[in-house]
């Protein structure tokens, strides 16, 4: 990714979070989702505003130093997995249950908090809380 693409991607991160927050808020107001989903997405988007940029930068750095033959090999592995029966079933489930997929994504966003806490204070200390 060139510098312009890198900075464009980096600049677009906050607006994606705000757009998602506004979309989900509208869905809550119209009764499509409940208060639990609204609170989950609000928390996840707030955390994401803080973590998206560092993760984006780290991902770009790793991509920049990863040799092309490894990227090509990983792409081929992903293509092979995508064609399996289990992957097809998972993709069908995702299409049929978009709100559940959103919840899982928001949960992954929120998992950054305990992960950062564990990294900062040590895993055993974190588990004792």
Q: Could you report the per-residue pLDDT of 38-57, keeping only the tens digit for each?
A: 999 999 999 999 899 999 99
Model pLDDT, residue 123: 52
Contact in structure between 112 and 51 (CB atoms under 8 Å): yes
- Predicted structure pTM score: 0.70
3-state secondary structure of 44: helix
Model pLDDT, residue 121: 65
pLDDT over 80 (residue 1)? no
Model pLDDT, residue 129: 47
Contact in structure between 51 and 111 (CB atoms under 8 Å): no
- The H or E element that residue 105 is part of is helix 98-110
> 77 to each of 1, 3, 72, 82, how far by Cα in Å?
22, 29, 9, 9
């Amino acid at each position: 990714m060139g510098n312009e693409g890198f900075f464009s991607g980096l600049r677009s991160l906050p607006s994606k979070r705000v757009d998602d927050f506004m979309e989900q808020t509208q869905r809550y107001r119209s009764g499509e989702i409940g208060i639990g989903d609204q609170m989950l997405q609000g928390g996840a988007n707030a955390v994401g505003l803080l973590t998206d940029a560092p993760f984006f930068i780290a991902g770009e750095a790793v991509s920049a130093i990863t040799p092309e033959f490894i990227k090509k090999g990983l792409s081929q592995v992903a293509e092979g997995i995508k064609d399996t029966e289990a992957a097809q079933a998972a993709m069908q489930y995702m299409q049929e249950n978009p709100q559940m997929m959103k919840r899982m994504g928001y949960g992954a966003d929120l998992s950054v908090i305990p992960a950062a806490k564990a990294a900062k204070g040590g895993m055993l200390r974190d588990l004792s809380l």
